[in-house]
């Protein structure tokens, strides 16, 4: 089974992070890493993480490429996965699912997290299926009403 290693975005690897690209057709589905890192710079609640293959674990400067990016926040009892992207060269190999599994594992370790949730654009069928298969169900939260193009889902235990 594919496994990922999540690591901090640092001065050594941030350029590689900025170069991560999704397919042209996916560009409207997720913010760029440039925007995400800028958001994280001004909001200390946000946790931006580089996605690497598990083989990079243990190496300060791994030789293998960065595969993707994720970012979550913990606010008001909710661990919310704000971003998930896998570089187009590495998609459909299990890394997206493995990243979500690892982020969920981390969020479950945080005592203040009572709900794990995420959102995606309603037309994003790949994300919808992926989250559904991991146990996410529609989340009735009032602020979803002010974002009608976005589907909000939370993990059912
Ligand atoms: C969504 C995304 C992260 C999935 O990453 P990935 O590494 O390709 O996903 P995986 O290889 O783990 O596949 C997960 C499932 O999605 C399916 N899938 C992935 N890409 C697909 C595609 N282009 N078309 C159809 N199905 C696809 C896989 O077959 C797999 O299904 P299965 O578990 O039933 O076999 C990636 O497509 C992406 O970065 N998309 C753009 C950004 C985005 O949409 N982010 C999520 C919402 S913010």
Q: Separation of 153 CA from ligand 1 center, angstroms?
A: 17
pLDDT at 157: 72
Contact 100 CB / ligand 1 (< 6 Å): no
Beta strand 136-138 pairing with 78-86: unpaired
Query: Are the CB atoms for 131 and 155 separated by under 8 Å?
Result: no
Mutate to test the pocket of ligand 1, among 49, 53, 96, 98 (most ligand atoms within 8 A of CB): 96
Q: Separation of 88 CA from ligand 1 center, angstroms?
A: 10
Closest-CA residue, ligand 1 atom 42, reads 85
Q: Which domains does the chain have, with CATH numbers?
A: 4-155 (3.40.630.30)
Contact 22 CB / ligand 1 (< 6 Å): yes
Contact 26 CB / ligand 1 (< 6 Å): yes
Longest alpha-carbon distance in the chain: 45
Contact 151 CB / ligand 1 (< 6 Å): no
Averaged pLDDT in 10-residue chunks for the chain of 157 residues:
97 97 97 98 97 96 95 97 98 98 98 97 97 97 91 93
Global confidence as pTM? 0.97
Contact 23 CB / ligand 1 (< 6 Å): no
Angle between helices 95-108 and 125-133 (to 10 degrees): 50
């Amino acid at each position: 089974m594919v496994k990922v290693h999540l690591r901090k975005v640092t001065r050594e690897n941030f350029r590689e992070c900025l170069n991560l690209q999704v397919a042209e057709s996916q560009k409207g589905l997720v913010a760029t890493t440039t925007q995400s890192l800028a958001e994280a710079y001004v909001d200390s609640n946000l946790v931006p993480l580089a996605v690497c293959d598990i083989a990079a674990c243990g190496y300060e400067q791994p030789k293998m490429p960065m595969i993707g990016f994720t970012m979550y926040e913990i606010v008001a009892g909710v661990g919310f996965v704000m971003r998930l992207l896998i570089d187009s060269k590495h998609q459909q190999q299990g890394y997206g699912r493995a990243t979500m599994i690892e982020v969920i594992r981390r969020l479950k370790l945080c005592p203040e997290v009572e709900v794990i949730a995420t959102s995606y654009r309603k037309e994003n069928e790949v994300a919808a299926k992926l989250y559904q298969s991991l146990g996410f169900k529609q989340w009735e939260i009032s602020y979803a009403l002010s974002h009608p193009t976005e589907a909000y889902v939370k993990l059912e235990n």
